[in-house]
Amino acid sequence: MDFNLFMNDVVDAARKDIIEAGYEELKSPEQVEEALDRKGTTLVMINSTCGCAGGVARPAAANAIHYDKRPDHLVTVFAGQDREATEKAREYFEGYPPSSPSFAFLKDGKIVTMLERHDIEGFTAMDVIGKLQHVFDEHCEEI
């Protein structure tokens, strides 16, 4: 099998997982600016093709939002695929090094906190759901 075709399938499945979960995919710097400058709370899932993204981060992203409190906006950028969009998003994550997969939580366009790769890798999806919901409890309104 052609490696590039295989990787395209992996990327397509990773994109589909997060979009089906209800996240808005941001593929350009302009889309990132528009989305991250919105008022309210925003969860940014920085997607990737690694095992901890597929086995932990994307399932956590999909399930954490089924909760009494959740962000106003759910968006995603794909590290290693949509490079310019990811670089633009990372400009908003002041004080945090690039990390994927990861989750950035913003309020009115300003970074509040992040769950970095080291907060995801080696943990279960349930652990990460708990970490995300803790952030939601602190910063989101009840729906």
Would you state the pLDDT for residue 3? 62
What's residue 84's pLDDT?
Answer: 98
Q: Is the pLDDT of residue 1 over 60?
A: no
* pLDDT of amino acid 20: 96
Among candidate residues 27, 120, 106, the one with its CA nearest the CA of residue 73:
106
Cis peptide before 71 (omega within 30 of 0): no
Judged by phi (left if over 0) then psi (alpha if -120 to 50, else beta), residue 98 lies in beta
Domains belonging to the chain, first-starting first, are 3-139 (3.40.30.10)
Average pLDDT over residues 38-44: 98
pLDDT band at 109 (very low <50, low <70, confident <90, very high): very high
Better-scored residue on pLDDT, 6 or 78: 78
What global pTM score does this model have? Answer: 0.95
Q: Which of 14, 52, 120, 128 is catalytic?
A: 52
Mean pLDDT of the 47-55 span: 92
- Determine whether 140 is an active site residue: no
pLDDT score of 64 more than 80: yes
pLDDT of residue 10: 87
Per annotation, catalytic residue among 26, 43, 50, 57: 50
Q: Return the structure tokens found at 108.
A: 């009115």
